[in-house]
Amino acid sequence: MTNPIPPSAGLRGAVDLSSLVQPQRQGDAAPSTGADDRIVFATDDQGFGPVLELSRTVPVVVVLWASWSEQSTALVDTLDRLVRARAGRLVLATVEADRSPQLVQALQAQAVPTVVALVAGQPVPLFQGVQPDDVIEQVFDQLLQLAGQNGVTGTVDAGAEGTAEPAEPAEAPLPPLHQEAYDAISRGDYAAASAAYRTAIAQDPRDALAVAGLAQANLLGRLQGKTLDEIRNAAAANPDDLDAQLDVADLDLSGGHVDDAFARLLDLFPSLDAAGKSRVRERLIELFEVAGTDDPRVAAARRRLANLLY
1 domain residue, yes or no: no
Mean local confidence (pLDDT), 196-216: 91
109 domain residue, yes or no: yes
Average pLDDT, the chain: 82
Hey, what amino acid is at 89?
R
Clarify whether residues 254 and 284 are in a common domain.
yes
Mean local confidence (pLDDT), 287-301: 88
Among the candidates 108, 129, 161, a domain finishes at 161
Per-residue pLDDT at 267 exceeds 80: yes
Shortest CA distance to 200 belongs to which of 178, 219, 221, 185? 178
Indicate the pLDDT class of residue 254, thresholds 50, 70 and 90. confident
Q: What is the rounded distance in angstroms from the CA atom of residue 161 to the CA atom of residue 40? A: 12
Length of the chain: 310
How far, CA to CA in Å, does 50 sit from each of 15, 24, 26, 94, 270? 11, 21, 18, 14, 42
Supply the DSSP string of 191-227, one letter for each residue: HHHHHHHHHHHHH-TT-HHHHHHHHHHHHHHHHTT--
pTM of the model: 0.50
pLDDT the model gives residue 33? 36
Among the candidates 133, 161, 189, a domain finishes at 161
CATH for 274:
1.25.40
pLDDT the model gives residue 3? 43
303 domain residue, yes or no: yes
pLDDT the model gives residue 158? 66
pLDDT the model gives residue 34? 39
167 domain residue, yes or no: no
Give 95-98's long-range contacts (Cβ < 8 A, gap of 24+).
95/30, 95/42, 95/43, 95/44, 95/62, 95/63, 95/64, 95/65, 96/30, 96/31, 96/42, 96/44, 96/65, 96/66, 96/67, 97/64, 97/65, 97/66, 98/66, 98/67
Parent domain of 281: 176-309
Indicate the pLDDT class of residue 172, thresholds 50, 70 and 90. low
CATH for 63:
3.40.30.10
170 domain residue, yes or no: no
Name the β-bridge partners of 60: 91, 118
Mean local confidence (pLDDT), 189-215: 91
Clarify whether residues 126 and 190 are in a common domain.
no
Please, what's the largest Cα pairwise distance for the chain?
A: 65
288 domain residue, yes or no: yes
